[in-house]
Structure 1
Amino acid sequence: MKRSRQAEGFVTPTEDKIAQVHSILPRRVLPIIFLPGIMGSNLRMKPERQRQMGRENNIAWRPDSLAQSKILLEGDAAMRQLQLDPGLTEVDEYDPLNNPTGAPNESADERHDVVEVKLWYTLGVGIDTPLLIDDPITAKSRRTKDQKARERGWGEVFFDSYQELLETCEQRLNTAFVRGRLNRWWKNIVNVPPANWQASAQPPLAPLDEKTLQQAVKDCWFPVHAMGYNWLQSNRDSAVRIAERIRVLIKRYEEQGFQCEKVIVVTDSMGGLVARALIHPNIGNLKDQVLGVVHGVMPATGAGAAYKRMRCGFEDPGINSMSPITSVTAKVLGNFGPEVTAVLGNAQGGLELLPSQAYGDHWLRVTHGSKTLLSLPKKGDPYREIYKVQGKWYSLLREEWLNPAQIEDGPTFQKTCELLDKAKAFHNEIQTTYHPLSFAHYGADPNRSAWHQVVWEIDAKAKVLDIETLRIEIDDEQGKLRVNNSPAEFECTAPFSVTMQAPSDPGDQTVPLHSAEHQLHSGKFKGIFRQSGYEHQDSYKDERALQSTLYSLVRIAQNMEWAKR
């Protein structure tokens, strides 16, 4: 039942001329929906896989837990394949009623206990708001602000990476003005030139003035929700599920007596692909309910790092990483090619991060001294020219790495090719899809090199007969090959080394500027921030990324036109 507004007044003597003031709390709600990146959503195993692996709980992926990360860290490729199976995993949602932890002695709150909210509001309001405030101890079915945050999905995502973003958006948008005066924190944004956050000159952006901010946030709450998705599965399927969750959320706020018509979406990395599918008319079909989108570090056309990591494993972010957990995360998914391929080679979501046709030609190269001996793709189709090529030393897929667990009727080269066909179709479907009210920030840092071009370098002293027919004798699975000419009987030649070169293109250590820049070249964005100073996974811990995000959210919110009620 919808609640109406109520007010109380007092009868006073006629001599009392003091006005009675009643503050009416807003009943409008414009939720902020956060979509994390690959490896940014927590996953759990389905019961049958938990039983098969003999686990006490059903955690499949939870990088905030060092204990659980250590289990994967010490596991081999076969164990990773079983634990991170796209068909036998799902998002680890918070559900205290049904408690789906797979462990009889672990409650939902214990599973999600990393979510401890460290924010406060400078507002004298009660609990009849969407704010994250503890219920009074006298309340029936009392909930703490931590539990409320978990209900909003904050425990579904990699909290160490995203806590600062979630709390900053929640606190600052809902307390921009206190007693009619601008909150001091907003002086970091109001009247500040967007160039301070490395805004691109085109499209031009004007500083945000106080009046515009006030009008954008007036009479409205901005509750922040996080929605995880199974990053092992197709981003298309994830978008369909997220669309349904958003429709349910809007309806729930309406049933609670709020006016809720649209949402704003904020994304990280792969989450940007999900958001683009979310608004696509043939996928999520949610464009009318999404007011605007803020994209962070999105691999708009893919990333060369996806090829590199499937062949050579994840690199350690090392001393440039802001967070020690980021380094552990890379090692957990696999520092060796077979470990990564056993997971991402069987996961359509992972394959959808490979460079698409829109990425362009000649990004996979084989060099020998000053000469380029091979440069692919040549005809605009990396799926046919690289990913689905069988038996070549430079192919994406080492077939023997796809099914280390030896699952009966399990992964095969052909099945992965079918996933690649679907990835190609998805890439092409969303290629030009961007919300008309979009903003973006991404790494353009020459000191945070990423793989736009992926280069195999042949030993300068090697004698190469035919670059296409080299055969691998030894693969250290981290980017160093020992190869020889084939067939060997044509000429007696010595084996020689081929080495994966370090990244050399500007970016954020994962997404190259070349891919992110597709957003700028599309001409569809209202604002673009080409930033430096952060590593991909830790981008939302960077001050400029956070401030440009808040600026972008206000610019989107100022376009909201509420229906009259």
Structure 2
Amino acid sequence: MVDDPVALCPRHVILPIIFIPGIMGSRLRNRKNKVVWQPGTESWDEGWNALGLLFRGGQGKRRMIVGDTNEYFDPTFLEVAHQTDGGIWDRGWGGLLSSYLPFLNWLNDEYLVKLDNCLVMAKFQVWAFPYNWTASNLYSASKPINKEHGNLSDVVTRAIKDCEQLGQEIGREVLKPIILTHSMGGLVARAFTQILGHADMVHGVIHGVMPTHGAPELYKRIRGGFEGATSGVLGKNAHQVTATAGNCAGPLELAPNKWHRGVDGRRDWLSAVEPDGRRMSLPIADPYSEIYENEVDYWRLIVKEYLNPGGDPTGALAFKNFLLQLDDAKSFHDQLGPSGFHPNTRMFYGTGRQTRDRVDWTVALHRGPVPASGTYRGATVDPWWGDQWQTRLLGPSGDSDYIALLEMSGPNAAGDGTVHAGSGSQSGQMAEAVTDGLEHQAAFDSLSARTLTVEWLKEMVEEMLADA
């Protein structure tokens, strides 16, 4: 409620909003102009080809997302495939996963904003910036997304000009744009404003369910596969996910970085059992060298034989190429640092679903001699059942061969099913919990998240009007 007397102000505005989706939230095509990812497309050919991705094995998915067996990751291999039918579709909506459209349609409306004792009509004009989510988020923030469209800076500029033209037609002033993100899109936005130095182009940024400093769920999903519809794209088991996400810088940038903390503030998020029963906890300081670069121990992130089984079954060259993508991810994390946020940032995160903020390995059972000392080492195969892995291991002397059944802990902390609450709340920014059980991918379907987003957008409009 607003205090009386209240009247409509003679001053009304247009607010450009740039929405940046999360991983797998953009439809993509390859160099041959063939769409490889777009569920829900109306084109039979494109839909059939994208559907083919869902039913391929690891090497087949790798071929569509990364390239042929003699190719390794190239950020130009895929680009955004836009549907352009005029109107909102030309604002980038045509490059988005269709599940975002109900929210964008809902947000793209007129809102009343209080200014002193009068009400301002604020027209929210929503744009979208789909991008190649396999590439580094810094690459996505800086490079053109395809041959027809520009980069994020171009989209922000185009949104301003389009709104200015509309403003002249209907007699409204245009405010500075605001970026709104979902999940990994937040990393693209932070790269744009903080690394590339474009913070002055926008008034502020609102992040929804962003993996601020990474999420241990990424580790679990590379080792054990994705769930639900996502499993059809990046994979349902370690073979498939390693062959896809393990080769791409973008997904690797979702792994916990050295600033990651759990819900309880702990630095270490990965534990494993030593042969004598002691538990080892990592990282101590650097997850890249201590966890991700490890080629041997059973708790490693990457089983190198899975990276390119059709072209490099030993994984020797494939692992070297993985390290190149890991270097890009580490460089991106280092450039952002612990405080790489637009100065006017707001964030929301979920708390109503059990989510991993750590991963604990235990030995469920073993067969054969147990080595007296050293660490468990060996080649891990696919999950035996659920979150259990059967592994052939070698003792410290290399000759005490035995079989162990290893078990990975399940979700154990508050979150949204993918990003735990610690990754959303420990940012030093204005962060607010959404407690209605929102699910990560469908975060903007939550009424609480939508209401909070609009409240923050209105607050930012008030800020700009007060400063004018």
Residues 1:417 and 2:329 are matched in the alignment: no
Residues 1:444 and 2:351 are matched in the alignment: yes
Contact 1:300-1:515 at 8 Å conserved across structures: yes
Match of 2:148 in 1: none
Contact 2:179-2:189 at 8 Å conserved across structures: yes
Match of 1:168 in 2: 106
Q: CA RMSD in A?
A: 3.1
Q: How does 1:53-452 map to 2 (within 5 A)?
A: 58-65=34-41, 67-85=48-66, 86-95=75-84, 109=85, 147-160=86-99, 162-171=100-109, 174=110, 176=111, 211-212=114-115, 218=120, 220-240=122-142, 241-254=151-164, 258=168, 259-260=173-174, 262-280=176-194, 282-283=195-196, 285-314=197-226, 316=227, 327-360=228-261, 361-367=267-273, 373-378=279-284, 380-406=285-311, 412-431=318-337, 432-445=339-352, 448-452=353-357
More strand by percentage? 2
Contact 1:369-1:458 at 8 Å conserved across structures: no
Contact 1:311-1:479 at 8 Å conserved across structures: no
Distance 2:400 2:224 in 1: 29
Q: Percent identity?
A: 31
The TM-score, its normalising length taken from structure 1, stands at 0.69
Distance 1:562 1:465 in 2: 70
Contact 1:81-1:405 at 8 Å conserved across structures: no
Match of 1:559 in 2: 463
- CA apart distance, 1:483: 2.8
Deviations along 1:359-405, one digit per CA (max 9) or x if unpaired, are 14321112489965221112x10001111112222211111111234
Distance 1:252 1:356 in 2: 39
Match of 2:377 in 1: 470
- CA apart distance, 1:214: 8.4
483-492 vs 496-505, greater mean Cα deviation: 483-492
Change (3 A) 1:508 1:298: same
Distance 1:372 1:507 in 2: 29
Q: Which structure's CA Rg is the greater one?
A: 1
Distance 1:165 1:404 in 2: 40
AA partner of residue 207 (structure 2): H
Match of 1:202 in 2: none
454-463 vs 510-519, greater mean Cα deviation: 454-463
Distance 2:10 2:29 in 1: 39
Contact 1:368-1:459 at 8 Å conserved across structures: no
Deviations along 1:140-166, one digit per CA (max 9) or x if unpaired, are xxxxxxx41211122211122x12321
Distance 2:50 2:120 in 1: 44
Contact 2:373-2:396 at 8 Å conserved across structures: no
Residues 1:517 and 2:420 are matched in the alignment: no
Change (3 A) 1:464 1:513: farther
AA partner of residue 59 (structure 1): V
Contact 2:36-2:50 at 8 Å conserved across structures: no
SS at match of 1:559: helix
Contact 2:15-2:174 at 8 Å conserved across structures: yes
- CA apart distance, 1:545: 0.9
Equivalenced residues, count: 426
Contact 1:69-1:332 at 8 Å conserved across structures: no
Deviations along 1:455-475, one digit per CA (max 9) or x if unpaired, are 222125674544624223643
- CA apart distance, 1:268: 0.5
